A and B are shown apart, each in its own frame.
Chain A
Amino acid sequence: MAYYDRSSTGDTLARGLGWFSIGLGVAELMAGRSIARWMGMEDKTNLIRAYGVREITAGVGLLALGDPKPWIWGRIAGDAVDMATLAAGMEDNPRAGNARIAFGAVVAATALDIVCAQKLHQEEAAYRRQPLPDYSGRSGFPRPAEAMRGAASDAPIAEDMRTPKILQFQPSGPA
């Protein structure tokens, strides 16, 4: 099964990154123009807003959609896209200095994302290495299950719990 443990170190980090994604996403969405202007990349305003939507989606995914691993990998892919966009935007840009600061921040976030992904995969591997407990002898019955079939057909079950005769499946139709 898809393994994840909602109280592990890896998961705590993933949740932190989830909140970070939402914060960054909201900022990109609401203040896309100012951010673009600060980096000297005003033509990229709509693109930054779209990245904001991507961040918010990843944040919701990390916080609420179960296994965080696919969402962390999604974030790493997003980081790569951010870096490519920033690198392209640095050419002929009088504010390349600011773009470089942003680039540095993305690199730092990527490092955290990778640490988190590794941690989550390590935790899963550690879980899978544990031997499965053997419950094959825990039937609860004194004899093999097959021999117990129908042993309680005499049970007192009141009429209100019964299916009306007409609705019962019978090989020969309703009696």
Chain B
Amino acid sequence: MRALVWHGANDIRCDTVADPEIEHPRDAIVKVTTCAICGSDLHLHDHFMPGMEKGDIVGHEFMGEVVDVGTEAKGALKVGERVVIPFTIICGECDQCKRGNFSVCERSNRNKAMADKIFGHTTAGLFGYTHLTGGYAGGQAEYVRVPFADRTHVKIPDGLTDEQVLFLGDIFPTGWQAAAQCDIQPTDTVAIWGCGPVGQMTIRSAVLLGAKQVIAIDRVPERLAMAQAGGATTINFDEESVVERLNELTGGKGPEKCIDAVGMEAHATATLDSMMDRAKQALMLESDRAHVLREMMYVCRPAGTLSIPGVYGGLIDKIPFGMAMNKGLTFRMGQTHVNRWTDDLLRRIQEGQIDPSFVITHTVPLDQGPEMYKTFRDKRDGCIKVVLKP
């Protein structure tokens, strides 16, 4: 089959590889009909995440048709069914899964020993996302093996297009959880850094969950325009001071809730801390750039909440922890517990409350994937979200 394969920094290729097979009775094989490139994939492409190996198949946002089911998954899944696959692999039975903390499932990471050593305790297995989280083959491919398939799926009813439901596997629940874990009150101002696909979903979620004011921060004009279309007031950080504007918009008090939908590859206009981050990242003295985190800690209203869906991979430097401690800030973060939210969100899509396909700007065949990684990363051609058709 054809699949997008990681060969090193800035080197993802469309290769012919062996078709996946059932390896365990709980597996299923899905024929991918639609998949997408995520901001998290860019961290792999740019090689900021450790733990990739040459030959790894990437991709964790995908959906399709079940074409083969292992004996133990047969009760839950049938050949021919249409499914979206969440990017977090879940067993559904461990203590964490039972609590709905799916992204930290204790059993789905087959490289648990490595993860235990590096993270202290393992997190869930993920598709196409480094050997630290299981080294499972990803979904930017014609076929995917889905481990724990009896639990790791979302069934899609007829009458909805792939484009409407695809993002149930990652960015829609990610934006939703980012907003939900802020426990938004009708009096709240929610400030969201980053108007990429995750930021866009977060903006819509914050509006639906009833925030008084949603403020979105980025510097890419067309992304800011899309943020505005979703109901946000926008700040272009290349043109205005984020801290000053946020204070102005909140009567000098700062936003109650701050959300980082940027992650470890934050850009900044030439502030000293961001130059230091870039230099240190280049010299491998720190792995992540934390400009957004610092800005959120600074501007957030005391006793407010920081929600961090943006992905970080390792070490960050010069975090004003004393400031955060004294202001009594609450931190919420993590990979998304996708299946915790999908029933409710699927229902909202069916009822027409939201159509997540608004974010798609490019649809191309799978073999154009490698170029589209660059178009997406460099924000060329108005690119916000790329969908691939195997």
Evaluate contact between B229 and A169: CB separation under 8 angstroms.
no
Evaluate contact between A152 and B209: CB separation under 8 angstroms.
yes
Q: Does B322 contact A (CB under 8 A)?
A: no
Instruction: List the A side residues contacting B378 at CB < 8 Å.
Output: 5-7
Q: Which residue of A lies closest to B176 (CB)?
A: A155
Evaluate contact between A135 and B183: CB separation under 8 angstroms.
no
Instruction: List the B side residues contacting A149 at CB < 8 Å.
Output: 207-208, 210-211, 231
Q: Which of A65, A133, A142, A160 contacts B279 (CB 8 A)?
A: A65
Give the contacts of A124-175 with B (CB-CB under 8 A).
Answer: 127, 130, 132-142, 145-146, 148-153, 155-158, 160-163, 167-171
Q: Which of A135, A141, A148 contacts B225 (CB 8 A)?
A: A135
| Interface range, A side | 35 or more
Write the B254-292 contact mask toward A (1 if CB under 8 angstroms, else 0): 001000000000010100000100110110000000000
Assembly CA distance A138 to B226 (angstroms) = 6
Instruction: List the B side residues contacting A150 at CB < 8 Å.
Output: 186, 208-210
Evaluate contact between B230 and A141: CB separation under 8 angstroms.
yes
Q: Which residue of A lies closest to B348 (CB)?
A: A152
Q: Does B204 contact A (CB under 8 A)?
A: yes
Binds A, one of B14-22, B25-33, B128-136, B353-361: B353-361
Evaluate contact between B181 and A161: CB separation under 8 angstroms.
yes
- How many chain B residues touch A (CB < 8 A): the figure is 65
Question: What is the minimal beta-carbon distance from B8 to any residue of chain A, in angstroms?
Answer: 15
Instruction: List the A side residues contacting B256 at CB < 8 Å.
Output: 169
Evaluate contact between A145 and B207: CB separation under 8 angstroms.
yes
Binds A, one of B105-113, B116-124, B216-224, B310-318: B216-224
Evaluate contact between B230 and A145: CB separation under 8 angstroms.
yes
Evaluate contact between A171 and B204: CB separation under 8 angstroms.
no
Q: Which of B187, B282, B358 contacts A139 (CB 8 A)?
A: B358
Question: What is the minimal beta-carbon distance from B249 to any residue of chain A, in angstroms?
Answer: 16
Evaluate contact between B278 and A65: CB separation under 8 angstroms.
yes
Q: Does B330 contact A (CB under 8 A)?
A: yes
Evaluate contact between B180 and A2: CB separation under 8 angstroms.
no
Evaluate contact between B187 and A171: CB separation under 8 angstroms.
yes
Assembly CA distance A151 to B208 (angstroms) = 5
Q: Does A64 contact B (CB under 8 A)?
A: yes
Which residue, of A149, A167, A168, has the highest number of chain B Cβ atoms within 10 A? A149
Q: Does A97 contact B (CB under 8 A)?
A: no
Which residue, of B211, B281, B382, has the highest number of chain A Cβ atoms within 10 A? B382
Q: A5-B380, A64-B282, A157-B183 are in contact. Are A138 and B228 (CB under 8 A)?
A: no
Q: A65-B279, A149-B207, A150-B209 are in contact. Are A136 and B225 (CB under 8 A)?
A: yes
Instruction: List the B side residues contacting A64 at CB < 8 Å.
Output: 278-279, 281-282
Evaluate contact between B354 and A141: CB separation under 8 angstroms.
yes
Q: Which residue of A lies closest to B304 (CB)?
A: A169
Instruction: List the B side residues contacting A139 at CB < 8 Å.
Output: 204, 229-231, 358
Which residue, of B226, B228, B359, has the highest number of chain A Cβ atoms within 10 A? B226
Q: Which residue of A lies closest to B209 (CB)?
A: A152
Q: Does A66 contact B (CB under 8 A)?
A: yes
Evaluate contact between A132 and B229: CB separation under 8 angstroms.
no
Evaluate contact between A169 and B188: CB separation under 8 angstroms.
yes
Binding site for A on B (CB under 8 A): 10, 99-100, 177, 180-183, 185-188, 200, 204-205, 207-211, 219-222, 225-226, 228-231, 236, 238, 256, 267, 269, 275, 278-279, 281-282, 301, 303-305, 330, 332, 340, 344, 348, 352-359, 361, 374, 377-378, 380-382, 384
Binding site for B on A (CB under 8 A): 1-2, 5-7, 60, 63-66, 127, 130, 132-142, 145-146, 148-153, 155-158, 160-163, 167-171
16 other A-B residue contacts (CB within 8 Å) besides A155-B209, A160-B99: A63-B282, A132-B222, A136-B225, A138-B226, A138-B229, A140-B356, A140-B357, A141-B353, A149-B211, A149-B231, A151-B353, A156-B344, A157-B180, A161-B183, A169-B188, A170-B187
15 A-B residue pairings within 8 Å (CB atoms): A2-B269, A64-B279, A138-B358, A139-B204, A142-B352, A151-B208, A152-B209, A155-B180, A155-B208, A158-B340, A163-B183, A163-B305, A168-B183, A169-B188, A170-B185
